[in-house]
Amino acid sequence: MSAGYDVERWAAVHALPTYHRAAAGARTAPCGTPEHPLPLIIDSDPGLDDALAIGLAAASLEFKLLAVTTVGGNADVARCTENALRLLHAYGRDDVPVAEGAAGALLGSIVRATEVHGESGIGTTELPPAVNTARPEGAVALIARLLAESPEPVAIAPIGPLTNIALVLRQYPHLISKISHLCLMGGSIGEGNYSVSAEFNIAADPEAADVVFRSGVPITMIGLDVTHQALLDRAAAQALRGLGTRSGVIAAELTDYALDRNLEWSGSTTTAIHDAVAIAHLMVGDLVAVAPYYVAVDTTQGPARGRTVCDGLPYRLRRDGRTANADVGIVIDGGRFEQLLLDAFAKLP
């Protein structure tokens, strides 16, 4: 969700402290290859940028895409589920199961971003009907079953609110060792987008995010600091449309819808494809530079609710007896990111 941002100004205002740039470069996330595809589950609230993220994963031989599970966020969860089913059908990936998860936060609140993504969650795009339906076992049970059944640990890419992930961690603690990595889109070192403090995915369920960041599971946090460097413009949307495929047209329509919103709200001529950065980080080893941080989630009811408080200063961590609990995205090569999306969508029907 990038409502109301002049991205260029935002990026300048949020120039990261130099010591983080110095630390950037290390990574703990696994990286899939065509020779050893990474087992991957995407938990999502499709969602304009979710749709491009799912397309990137669906097209890429670097992944063994085990499932797409849904959570309420950009739109109501039923819409997100239907969107996931229809997107996978459009991308030629009816082999990938979909299961529906939480409608709202652990504590019951419902936070939506339909002003950004439209009531449907995918702007004004009409997708062909899906041939599959959602698995009756639901998102949490499906994730648990896939973790249990996988011969190797599974990466999970949460690109919506973290409610389903928190429920898996709480209900199936014995399966935590089967999660190789959580590469999540959410949070920010600097300002939020849902509020001045909180990025949308964290703001929608801070208690769930708190469970996740305290879990000890290896985490990469792809926050707004890096996703606001992963920008598409009209020319990129036109290049997607120029692929001449159904998937390319879908991606172009979704991108144009997001561009229209940003232009209307802030005069910006670009849109951040937040969620696709989390997928890209798991398939290209040197695209996103990260640095180790201790990330804590503000779960108070005050003005900082939902803020990811990110401390990466080694001296302070030593002083306070803390160790980093996440790699946090710092820098991305926006040009390579755009080309990665175009190359991926060129492989889709």
Which has the closest alpha carbon to 83: 121, 37, 124, 117?
A: 121
Q: Choose from Ca ion, ligand RIB, none: what does 43 bind? Cβ within 5-8 Å by kind.
A: none
Q: Which of 20, 117, 274, 281 is catalytic?
A: 274
Residue 268 as a binder of ligand RIB (CB under 6 A): the answer is no
To which residue do tokens 């290049």 refer?
239
Residues 289-328 that bind ligand RIB (CB under 6 A): none
**Amino acid residing at 168:** V
Residues 174-193 that bind ligand RIB (CB under 6 A): 185, 193
Among 43, 49, 205, 327, binds ligand RIB (CB under 6 A): 49
Q: Choose from Ca ion, ligand RIB, none: what does 76 bind? Cβ within 5-8 Å by kind.
A: none
- 181 labelled catalytic: no
- Which lies closer to ligand RIB via its Cβ, residue 274 or residue 281? 274
Number of other CB atoms surrounding residue 273 within 10 Å:
30
Residue 7 as a binder of ligand RIB (CB under 6 A): the answer is no
Straight-line distance from the first to the last Cα atom of the chain, in angstroms, rounded to the nearest whole number: 27
Q: How far is the CB of 199 from ligand RIB (least distance, A)?
A: 5
Q: 268 in the Ramachandran plot: left (φ > 0), alpha (ψ -120 to 50) or beta?
A: beta
Q: Of 87-95, 147-155, 195-203, 245-253, which segment contacts ligand RIB by CB under 6 A?
A: 195-203
Q: What's the rounded Cα separation, in Å, for the pair 89 and 74?
A: 20
Q: How far is the CB of 133 from ligand RIB (least distance, A)?
A: 23
The HSE-up count of residue 14 (CA atoms within 13 Å, CB side) is 24
> For the purposes of burial, counting CB atoms within 10 Å of the CB of 267, is it exposed (0-12), middle (13-18) or buried (19 or more)?
exposed
| Backbone phi and psi for residue 184, each to the nearest 5 degrees, phi listed first | -105, 140
Residue 159 as a binder of Ca ion (CB under 5 A): the answer is yes
Residue 111 as a binder of Ca ion (CB under 5 A): the answer is no
H-state helical runs in the chain: 7-13, 18-23, 48-59, 77-90, 114-117, 139-149, 163-171, 200-203, 206-213, 224-227, 234-241, 246-266, 274-281, 314-319, 334-345
Q: Choose from ligand RIB, Ca ion, none: what does 40 bind? Cβ within 5-8 Å by kind.
A: none
Binding site residues, ligand RIB, CB under 6 A: 1, 45, 47, 49-50, 73-74, 113, 159-160, 185, 193, 199-201, 274-275
Binding site residues, Ca ion, CB under 5 A: 45, 47, 50, 159-160, 275
Active site residues: 274
